[in-house]
Amino acid sequence: MTPIDRFERQLPMALTDLAVPQTPDYLTDILGQTARTRQRPAWASIERWLPMELVSKRATVARMPWRQLGVLALIALLLAAALAVFVGSQQRRLPPPFGRAANGSILYTMDGDIYAADPRTGASRAIVTGPERDEEPVYSRDGTRLLFGRTSSATPQRLLFVANADGSGIVQVTPEPLPGISSWSFSPDGRSIVAFASGDQGPIIVVIPSDGKTAPKAFPVFASSADGGDGPPMYRPDGSEIMFIGKDPGQLVRGVYALNATTGTVRTLVAPSTTNLDIHGASWSPDGKYVAYGVSNQGPEAVAPKTHVVGVDGSGDVVVDTEPVHVADFGFDWANDSTRLIITRWYTADGSNSRDAIVPIDRSSAGVEIACPPGAQGDDCTASWTFSPDDSMLLGSLGHADGTTAQFLGDPQTGQIRAAPWSGSGQPIWQRLAP
Amino acid sequence: MSSTANPVVPTSEAAVDQRILIERAQGGDHDAFATLAGESIARLDAAARLILRDSELARDAVQEALVRCWRDLPTLRDVERFDGWLHRLLVNACLDLIRRRRRRAVEVELTSILSPAASDFSGGVVERDLLDRALRALEPDWRALVVLHYYLGMPLPEVAASLGIPLGTAKSRLHRAIGLLRATVERGAAVDVVSVPEGRFA
């Protein structure tokens, strides 16, 4: 292994070495200044107190009209029985785990709580609340459950929890904190969760049963970090394998690999290049027929990442975006019908002039560029976009420096966008319902 | 490949102690704030020097961040986010300083404020100098991205929020920044090898 190969892994230590952290001699001066500075009163942030007031309200105790309540209870029991008979006679319809589905609620987080918004009315409601900090919720593929991370003062490291889609029935699924757990998602059948965690030699893949009763399994594969564009571990639509980006020991650059979580075996999907062409990020198409992945040149010459699409059998590898002017592109978010990808085009080498676009994977056109979202910095018009379950809309988010996230809805046919009537923090996600 | 047991990490007592200090400081206890500041200032100063490449500017940025931290601390609702919030204040102070001084030459040789003998990076001084050059070649925003993530250890979503950019953009920029750093180091290493007299490797 050369010093260059070690570069990324050694970067934290190298930066520490370069900066030589030591206590500077000006701390006393700063403390003198802070001692003369008045603190802003806590009530200056009104929202800080809203939840406290809400939760501290006491129910008014009044004389109970027992007779009327008894009649109402009897009526309620009869209605419940009738409803149970009706529901029992109906078979619950669920969406397929992949492909188009109907649009359900949109999940997002705000101040450590999880909210669900109705995209038709714009109304939002909190579905998971409490003193803990809940974040990064995702829906199961059938839309019936959600998965989220939770930290608290007692457990500063993240634990994972699963709940029903309405926030009820919360179950802890990681019995102990897993260091560095991130990038989680459900398996297609919802029985398992896959995520990255930190291992001794780098990221590892963990598979966690979603019932909260069975111990997680850790697979110390040679995955590279989800940061830097490598993307999360991702189940194949048929649930048979988990795809990840990794650098096989002995290789100079990364490849795309698939882990069989039952047998623990790993196979190569896209072999690492024998030159400087490196791979970053990969995503199965929802129909399971293709893999989208990014390629860049890691040599001393210019780096120009481009998005490729290849058949799962390795055939038909193409650069997907035919737009001729842009210099680089990234992105692996598929339309549910597997015909289009959302990518980010860079028109300048530093990404300062960039646009998001929807491109057809058959390269039949240059696609549709998405309008620049309000609040974008300069000519950097990129946001995070996904398709709605029925592919008729786009859901976008743009983070602000204050930690909030502006959210947008868009039209994938025209690229026009509008502000969503809710805002929060983190990445919003759309629930799939039966068509 | 076989599966292995799930590692177990105990709850950090230090985090509980820090929470107590933060809550006391929120109530106006300046001694508690002084302890918090003393515990974090070396890290903040080093991060600011890495981003700004100038020790005096770094001092200004750390001062601005800590004064704002003290002033606004009572309004911090989620004390578990203190470290991330403080890092966000610091990077905003750094980027504000850069924007205010954009027309002035602020790129100063970092080596002038460091002791070369202090290096014990496994690659040695040559690698450190190469990294120094590579880091200096990045735009300040990109340096901030690298420093927040690789030096301060902030998760990428928090980095994206701190810099006010989408997570996808943060990922792609970090990927490109690492590519540029690596390429610059590689170029520098090649030049160093070529410069050795009579083709001998150093």
Decide if B169 and A34 are in contact by the 8 Å CB cutoff. Answer: no
B108 touches chain A (CB under 8 A): no
Q: Is A50 exposed, middle or buried (0-12, 13-18, 19+ CB in 10 A)?
A: exposed
B196: pLDDT confidence band, cut at 50, 70 and 90? very low
pLDDT tens digits along A169-208: 999 999 888 887 888 999 999 999 999 887 777 778 999 9
User: What confidence category does residue A231 fall into, taking pLDDT thresholds of 50, 70 and 90?
Assistant: low
pLDDT tens digits for range A390-400: 999 999 988 76
What is the C-alpha to C-alpha distance for residues B140 and B124, in angstroms, rounded to an integer? Answer: 25
Question: What pLDDT score was predicted for residue A429?
Answer: 92
Q: How far apart are the C-alpha atoms of B185 and A300, rounded to whole Å? A: 9
Task: Report pLDDT for A64.
Answer: 61
pLDDT, tens digit, 9 for 90 and up, residues B2-61? 333 232 333 455 666 888 899 899 888 999 999 999 999 999 999 999 988 888 889 999
Collect all residues of chain A within an 8 Å Cβ-Cβ radius of residue B135. 18
> Which residue, among A30, A148, A244, A382, would best test binding to B if mutated, counting the most B CBs under 10 Å from its CB?
A30
Number of CB atoms found within 10 A of residue A423's CB: 17
From A44, A384, A403, residue closest to B75, measured CB to CB: A44
Of residues A294 and B66, more confidence is placed in B66
pLDDT at B195 over 70: no
Judged by CB atoms closer than 8 Å, whether chains meet at A15 and B72 is answered as: no
In chain B, which residue's Cα lies nearest the Cα of A222? B1
Q: How does residue B1 score in pLDDT terms, banded at 50, 70 and 90?
A: very low
- B60 and B101 Cβ atoms separated by less than 8 Å: no
Determine, for residues B127 and A397 on separate chains, whether the beta-carbon distance falls below 8 Å. no
**A92-134: pLDDT as tens digits:** 688 988 999 999 999 998 888 999 999 989 899 999 998 888 9
Mind telling me how many Å the CA of A170 is from chain B's nearest CA?
A: 22
- Tell me the residue type at A247: K
- What percentage of chain A carries pLDDT values higher than 70? 86
B189 vs A270 pLDDT, higher one: A270
Instruction: Give every CB contact of residue A98 below 8 A, 6+ residues apart in sequence.
Output: A141, A188, A237, A286, A287, A288, A336
User: What DSSP string describes A202-215?
Assistant: EEEEEEEETTSSS-
Across chain A, what does the average pLDDT equal?
A: 83
> Average of pLDDT values for A21-44?
82
Do the Cβ atoms of B4 and A218 come within 8 Å?
A: yes
B132 to A164, B50, B91: CA distances (angstroms): 51, 9, 20
| A382 to B71: CB separation less than 8 angstroms, yes or no | no
Give B73-106 pLDDT, tens digit per residue.
Answer: 887 877 878 888 888 889 888 887 776 665 343 3
Secondary structure element (H or E) that encloses residue A217, with its range: strand A217-219
- Residue A243's alpha-carbon distances to A74, A292, A321, B128, in angstroms, are 55, 11, 23, 35
Bigger pLDDT: A351 vs B124: A351
* Residue of A111, A215, A382 lying closest to B169 (CB–CB): A382
Q: Are A401 and B92 within 8 A, CB to CB?
A: yes
Residue B125 has pLDDT above 60, yes or no: no
Q: Residue B89: its pLDDT value, please?
A: 87
Q: Which residues pair with A419 in a beta bridge?
A: A408
Residue B41, pLDDT score: 92
In terms of Cα–Cα distance, which of A327, A180, A30 is closest to B63? A30
Burial tier of A364 (Cβ tally within 10 Å: 0-12, 13-18, 19+):
exposed
What is the distance in angstroms between the Cα of B195 and the nearest Cα belonging to chain A?
Answer: 17
Q: Which of residues 37-96 of B touch A (CB under 8 A)?
A: 37-38, 41-43, 45-47, 49-50, 59, 62-63, 66-67, 70-75, 77-81, 88, 92
Tally A–B CB contacts below 8 A. 275
ipTM above 0.85, yes or no: no
Using CB atoms, which residue from B77, B131, B157 is nearest to A45?
B77
**Stretch A315-320: mean pLDDT, rounded?**
90
A157 and A150 Cβ atoms separated by less than 8 Å: no
Edge-to-edge strand list for the sheet holding A133-139 = A133-139, A145-151, A159-164, A171-172
**Which residues, including other chains, have CB under 8 Å from residue A400's CB and lie 6 or more apart?**
A375, A406, B161, B164
**CB-CB neighbors (< 8 A) of B99 in chain A:** none
What is the chain A residue with the closest CA to B138?
Answer: A350
Which whole number is the average pLDDT over B157-178? 77
User: Which residue did the predictor score with more confidence, B31 or A41?
Assistant: B31
pLDDT at A59 over 50: no
**Contact by Cβ (8 Å): A233, A196:** yes
Q: Which of A179, A217, A112, A150 is nearest to B12 (CA)?
A: A179
Best mutation target among B50, B68, B70, B111 (most A Cβ atoms within 10 Å) is B70
Residues 6+ apart with CB under 8 A from A212: A162, A171, A172, A173
Q: Do the Cβ atoms of A39 and B74 come within 8 Å?
A: yes
* Confidence label for A319 from pLDDT (cuts 50, 70 and 90): very high
Q: What is the predicted pLDDT for the residue at A384?
A: 87
Q: What is the DSSP code (8-state) at residue A223? A: B
